[in-house]
Amino acid sequence: MRLAFMGTPDFAVPALCALRDAGHEIVVVYTQPPRPAGRGKALRPSPVQHMAETLGIPVKHPEKLRNAQDELEWFAAQRLDVAIVAAYGLILPKAMLDAPTRGCLNIHASLLPRWRGASPIQSAILAGDTKSGVTIMQMDVGLDTGAMLASVPVPITAVTTATTLHDELAALGARMVVEVLAENPPPMSQPEDGVTYASRLTKEDGRIDWTQPAEMIDRQVRALTPWPGAFTTLDGVTLKIGAVEIEAKRPGAAGTVLNDTLVVACGDDTVLSIRQIQRPGRGMMNAESFLRGQPISAGTRLGS
């Protein structure tokens, strides 16, 4: 098929490669413009742009699509069979949605209609869901409201992190979109019941509230690593928390370090052991290594 691909982050790269490997003619790749990154703030292309250029596929990265008449006319003139969208980051105007013969298909990292929106992977873990998955959807003008063409679940376990789930769903989505293009399954409307929305994350979402039960904090750490990252403070210094483990219940004031190995009291008399922690300017390290350089004594209150 003659297609356009639209995506930006690492999540979209496996699908781009799978479509190319399946023999489809990828006329153009749309992605977000290069952004400043690193200490020098040099412009860095998106992972999708990097891969597209490696594959020799032309890349476009308009700042906007709404009211971009020249861009819409160019897109319509490409005589596309379909456009594949995966975490692109821009809303497609109706004229663009309607231009390809088979419209635009989205690879969405949830079991729709649950977790429509910007952060479905993190939201599923935060909510304590026991499964996530990928839905291939026919795009319309709504926010992830289009008819479903395929949906495949994957389990969320007590050790699932945003990173592991992201990678599993990215690989699954790549396989599924190739199958959907080959099989052309009939569309099925999304059910009206069970709709939830995953809002865009901010850095503040990572702040740990130690009055929450240990189970919820554990989910927060697993859901928000690597970005925006779960964190607490100590004497005004931000400490990122990379991994925790739930311990047996015992009483203690929320946020209080209970011993010299970073076991911390949480809400409802629940307890967490911090396993990985990071101070500013350093890499993530295990708690034992961290404490050799910065001991934290029992009775210390985190979140201060």
CATH no. for residue 247?
A: 3.10.25.10
Supply the mean pLDDT for the chain.
Answer: 96
Looking at 197, 225, 240, the residue that finishes a domain is 197
Task: Indicate the residue among 197, 222, 244 that finishes a domain.
Answer: 197
Q: How many domains does the chain have?
A: 2
The proportion of the chain whose per-residue pLDDT surpasses 70, expressed as a percent, equals 100
The dihedral through the CA atoms of 103, 105, 111, 112 has a sign that is negative
Question: Do 192 and 275 fall within a single domain?
Answer: no
Q: Tell me the pLDDT tens digit for each residue of 65-118.
A: 988 999 999 999 999 999 999 999 999 999 999 999 999 999 999 999 999 999
Q: What 3-state DSSP class applies to 236?
A: coil
Return all residues near 108 (Cβ < 8 A) that are at least 6 apart.
116, 120, 134, 135, 136, 137, 144
d(CA 139, CA 264): 46
Point out the domain boundary residue: 181, 197, 213.
197
Q: Does residue 304 register a pLDDT over 90?
A: no
- Answer whether residue 299 is part of any domain: no
Note whether residue 300 is domain-resident. Answer: no
Query: Which DSSP helix (H) or strand (E) runs through 70?
Result: helix 69-76
Q: Do residue 76 and residue 147 come from a single domain?
A: yes
Distance in angstroms (rounded) separating the CA atoms of residues 244 and 214: 9
Q: Are residues 125 and 213 in the same domain?
A: no
**Is 217 found in the same domain as 170?**
no
**Residue 230: its pLDDT value, please?**
98
The pLDDT of residue 39: 76
Q: Are residues 43 and 180 in the same domain?
A: yes
> Is position 169 annotated in a ligand binding site?
no
Domain-located, residue 178: yes
For residue 40, pLDDT over 80 is answered with no
With H, G, I as helix, E, B as strand and everything else as coil, classify residue 273.
strand
What's the CA gap between 65 and 265, in Å, rounded?
A: 49
Domain enclosing residue 286, as ranges: 203-293
Any domain includes 240 = yes
Q: What are the angstrom distances between the C-alpha of 182 and each of 179, 185, 190? A: 5, 9, 22
What is the average pLDDT across 281-295?
95
In a domain, 304, yes or no: no
pLDDT band at 38 (very low <50, low <70, confident <90, very high): confident
* Domain identity same for 71 and 219: no
pTM above 0.75, yes or no: yes
Q: What's the one-letter identity of residue 236? A: G
CATH number, residue 147: 3.40.50.170
What is the model's pLDDT at position 283?
94
Same domain, 145 and 240: no
Let me know whether 76 and 215 are in one domain: no
The response to whether 14 counts as a known ligand-binding position is: no
User: Is there a single domain that holds both residue 150 and residue 84?
Assistant: yes
- Both 167 and 29 in one domain: the answer is yes
R_g of the chain computed on alpha carbons: 22
SS3 of 134, please? Answer: strand
Contacts of 196 (CB under 8 A, 6+ apart): 113, 114, 115, 116, 123
Res 41: pLDDT: 83
Q: Is the pLDDT of residue 20 over 80?
A: yes
- Using the predicted structure, report yes or no on whether residue 297 has a pLDDT greater than 80: yes
Q: Is 126 annotated as a binding residue?
A: no
If asked whether residues 185 and 218 sit together in one domain, one would say no
141 & 223 share domain: no
Q: Which helix (H) or strand (E) holds 96?
A: helix 94-98
Residue 132 counted as an annotated binding residue: no
**Is residue 303 assigned to a domain?**
no
